[in-house]
Amino acid sequence: MAVAVAVAGSDRTYAVFRISPRGMNTSDIESASVQMMSRHQQTAKYLNGVILGALLAFFASSTLPADTTLPIFDTHIHYNHDNWASFSPQAVLALLQQAGVTRALVSSTPDDGTLMLYRQDPKRIIPVLRPYRTPADRVDWFRSAEVLAYIEKRLAQNIYRGIGEFHLTDVGDAATDNIARLIQDAVKHELVLHVHSDAEAIRALFAIGPQVKILWAHAGMSAPPSLVAELLGNHPGLWAEISLRAGDIAPDGRLDAKWRALFLRHPDRFMVGTDTWATFIWSDYVEVVREHRDWLHQLPKDIAVKIAYDNAARLFTR
Ligand SMILES: [Zn+2]
């Protein structure tokens, strides 16, 4: 995309920008990120971070306008600390506007990133409380009494619609006092848990709290349609968002038959998301949203509208 070439001045950088959000596995994405971040840092030597953000927004806005005929509720946005120098809250909100994203579920490390966006545009931004004060919390947040106290103090602000996105990399991580307490909090305050885990951990969470509502991040990241269908069938309190899954759902841009059948079978249970987990994704944001619109348009219109917007609006707006 022109934005990356113009700013970073490298064809290889361009390639990383374009393919990262698509059908790569997690380790590919992470290694691409490492390459990208070092180049990004080099670029940042020459350009003040805020100026870089303004330039990116300028170049993005000078490309073809996004197809905004289908409003999008993006259910997977982070505005993490390492994004702040490159993209101001105003630049991020301008990208959402340009992409036709009229509502967004935002969680950030630390949570202050979410609050910055929410204060600028409380109608568009739906805050979700991320348990991570720093990236290091991701490792053991589910065992930390400090993190639990932090979560409950923040929840008292009463602005959040969920807790997450958090990671459970092992099913044993779900069997802790923190998780039991969070499930209680979530049920009591009608909050949705946004969970990045495999199917086994999702089953474990429902075993602890059958009444809890869960948004399954990336539909399990690598879970095949048959497994996603099994979980949705067994757990009425489960929804799935398909950020980072466009490469599986629509390889080469054509909607896969098994995913299509899954969307038709559970039209009320899916949502779209982008997952802006690293700064370079913001540079490609409009294109990532456009990619989701492309396969959504291959579904019957009423189902596309549900997945693009209505399902999330029903679950997350009051
Ligand atoms: Zn995730």
For residue range 149-193, list pLDDT tens digits in order.
999 999 999 999 999 999 999 999 999 999 999 999 999 999 999
Q: If you measure from the C-alpha of residue 62 to the centroid of ligand 1, how many angstroms do you get, rounded to a whole number?
A: 30
- In a domain, residue 262? The reply is yes
> If pLDDT is split at 50, 70 and 90, which confidence band does 100 have?
very high
- In a domain, residue 19? The reply is no
Q: If you measure from the C-alpha of residue 165 to the centroid of ligand 1, how many angstroms do you get, rounded to a whole number?
A: 7
- In a domain, residue 227? The reply is yes
Q: If you measure from the C-alpha of residue 195 to the centroid of ligand 1, how many angstroms do you get, rounded to a whole number?
A: 8
- In a domain, residue 13? The reply is no
Q: Which of 4, 62, 10, 84 is nearest to 280 (CA)?
A: 4
- In a domain, residue 1? The reply is no
Least confident of 55-69, 117-131, 164-178: 55-69
Q: Residue 280 above 80 pLDDT?
A: yes
Least confident of 54-63, 90-99, 137-146, 156-165: 54-63
Mean pLDDT of 100-126: 98
Q: Residue 60 above 80 pLDDT?
A: no
> If pLDDT is split at 50, 70 and 90, which confidence band does 292 have?
very high
- In a domain, residue 26? The reply is no
Q: Residue 83 above 60 pLDDT?
A: yes
Q: If you measure from the C-alpha of residue 198 to the centroid of ligand 1, how many angstroms do you get, rounded to a whole number?
A: 11
Q: Residue 48 above 90 pLDDT?
A: no
Q: Residue 143 above 90 pLDDT?
A: yes
What's the whole-number average pLDDT of the chain?
85
Q: If you measure from the C-alpha of residue 3 to the centroid of ligand 1, how many angstroms do you get, rounded to a whole number?
A: 25
Mean pLDDT of 204-227: 98
Q: Residue 17 above 90 pLDDT?
A: no
Please give the tally of structural domains in the chain: 1
Range of the domain at 117: 70-316
- In a domain, residue 137? The reply is yes
- In a domain, residue 61? The reply is no
> If pLDDT is split at 50, 70 and 90, which confidence band does 318 have?
confident
- For residue 121, the domain's CATH number is 3.20.20.140
Query: Please, which residues have CB less than 5 A from ligand 1, an ion?
Result: 196, 217
